[in-house]
């Protein structure tokens, strides 16, 4: 019997646990557009309390949560400042421009981490020729930074700088609870440096759907309207909100297992000639590694690994990403490391006929 594939493409690949499915089956529901779903209410109240905010709003996705935040803080013709490799800029179709008439000014960080000094001079002067700088967005943990945790003292300093200049702060905290578990710093401490915080339930926490935006009550009241116009009004959403609430209550502390598995995978990959970890240190559950160009492209390697039952993502022409999660065990990691070593070894020995990569991968 063939072993099931080890799916390391993303922590969104998690499936609801039997206990979570039981909660879903028994949950109370109502029409959330009418603000009558008790399970949604319970989730929103729990998120607001965890983050120390007045209110929270449940949404179908992290992209919607981030974009509703942008829309709530900004007007058409405004500008947000963000790190050049952040999710809001790279993976949301420039929705801030499409949906809200907002532009982004990007600053390159080190594996996703900006220094406060890099933001000096980035605020546009008050002048009819310029956009209006209104918002700073940070991502914690940072996806393209290899799961990098924003250093807490850096967040404090950037927040203080923004407030001195009258700018709002938004945190894309899709994997904030990974940072919480890895550092021991509570979510409420991270959140106090931001006006709004987005958190995701369908990544490492293992719920099937959803994110939430937390912030001041008046802003969240406006966010309800923005969610509606973006197509995010839901009806009996308690079906999925109950799963998210279960995940918050049962799946946060276990993220430490994912972090340990990611570190172990990193140890195994470091031993493979032809691969290089970038960043070299693994802080949470994301491992990004680069393939020696003499051995082919990332797309080619992912195809070969898929044939052997290991699924990873091509993160660029030469880089690959592996993400640990609750459906990946320590034994899976050992097996994945062995298979990756075998395939790369065969590439070095010239024993593999590589398939031609799709257009766009050089």
Domain ranges of the chain: 6-12+254-348, 31-250
Closest CA to 100 of 75, 118, 119: 75
CA 107 to chain centre: 19
pTM of the model: 0.94
- Domain covering 6-12+254-348: architecture: Alpha-Beta Complex (3.90)
Q: Which SS3 state, helix, strand or coil, does residue 278 take?
A: coil
**What does each of the 362 residues of the chain score in pLDDT, given as a tens digit?**
467 899 999 999 999 999 999 999 999 999 999 999 999 999 999 999 999 999 999 999 999 999 999 999 999 999 999 999 999 999 999 999 999 999 999 999 999 999 999 999 999 999 999 999 999 999 999 999 999 999 999 999 999 999 999 999 999 999 999 999 999 999 999 999 999 999 999 999 999 999 999 999 999 999 999 999 999 999 999 999 999 999 999 999 999 999 999 999 999 999 999 999 999 999 999 999 999 999 999 999 999 999 999 999 999 999 999 999 999 999 999 999 999 999 999 999 987 655 544 443 33
Whether 206 and 68 have beta carbons less than 8 Å apart is answered as: no
Closest CA to 135 of 119, 147, 151, 156: 119
For 99, phi and psi rounded to 5 degrees?
Answer: -100, -30
Q: Which SS3 state, helix, strand or coil, does residue 17 take?
A: coil
pLDDT of residue 3: 74
Closest CA to 224 of 38, 40, 68, 50: 68
- Domain covering 31-250: architecture: 3-Layer(aba) Sandwich (3.40)
pLDDT of residue 353: 57
């Amino acid at each position: 019997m063939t072993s099931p594939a080890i799916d390391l493409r993303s922590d969104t690949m998690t499936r609801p646990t039997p206990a979570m499915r039981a909660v879903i089956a028994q949950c109370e529901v109502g029409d959330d557009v009418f603000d009558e779903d008790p399970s949604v209410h319970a989730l929103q109240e729990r998120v607001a309390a965890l983050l120390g905010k007045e209110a929270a709003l449940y949404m179908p996705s992290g992209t919607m949560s981030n974009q509703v935040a942008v829309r709530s803080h900004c007007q058409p013709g405004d500008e947000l400042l963000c790190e050049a490799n952040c999710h809001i800029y790279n993976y949301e179709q420039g929705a801030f421009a499409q949906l809200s008439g907002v532009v982004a000014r990007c600053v390159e960080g080190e594996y996703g981490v900006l220094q406060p000094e890099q933001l000096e001079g980035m605020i546009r002067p008050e002048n009819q020729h310029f956009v209006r700088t209104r918002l700073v967005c940070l991502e914690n943990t940072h996806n393209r930074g290899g799961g990098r945790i924003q250093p807490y003292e850096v967040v404090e300093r950037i927040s203080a700088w923004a407030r001195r200049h009258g700018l709002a702060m938004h945190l894309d905290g899709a994997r904030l609870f990974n940072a919480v578990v890895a550092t021991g710093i509570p979510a409420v401490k991270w959140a106090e440096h931001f006006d709004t915080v987005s958190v995701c339930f369908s990544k490492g926490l293992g719920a099937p759907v959803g994110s939430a935006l937390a912030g001041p009550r008046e802003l969240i009241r406006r966010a309800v309207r923005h969610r509606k116009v973006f197509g995010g009004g839901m009806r009996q959403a308690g079906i999925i909100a109950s799963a998210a609430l279960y995940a918050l209550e049962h799946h946060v502390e276990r993220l430490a297992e994912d972090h340990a598995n990611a570190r172990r995978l990193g140890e195994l990959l470091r031993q493979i000639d032809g691969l290089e970890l970038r960043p070299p240190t693994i802080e949470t559950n994301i491992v990004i590694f680069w393939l020696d160009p003499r051995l082919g492209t990332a797309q080619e390697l992912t195809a070969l690994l898929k044939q052997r039952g290991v699924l990873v993502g091509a993160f660029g022409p030469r880089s690959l990403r592996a993400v640990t999660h609750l459906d990946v065990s320590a034994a899976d990691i050992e097996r994945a490391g062995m298979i990756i070593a075998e395939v790369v070894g065969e590439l070095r020995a010239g024993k593999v006929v590589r398939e031609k990569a799709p257009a766009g991968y050089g």
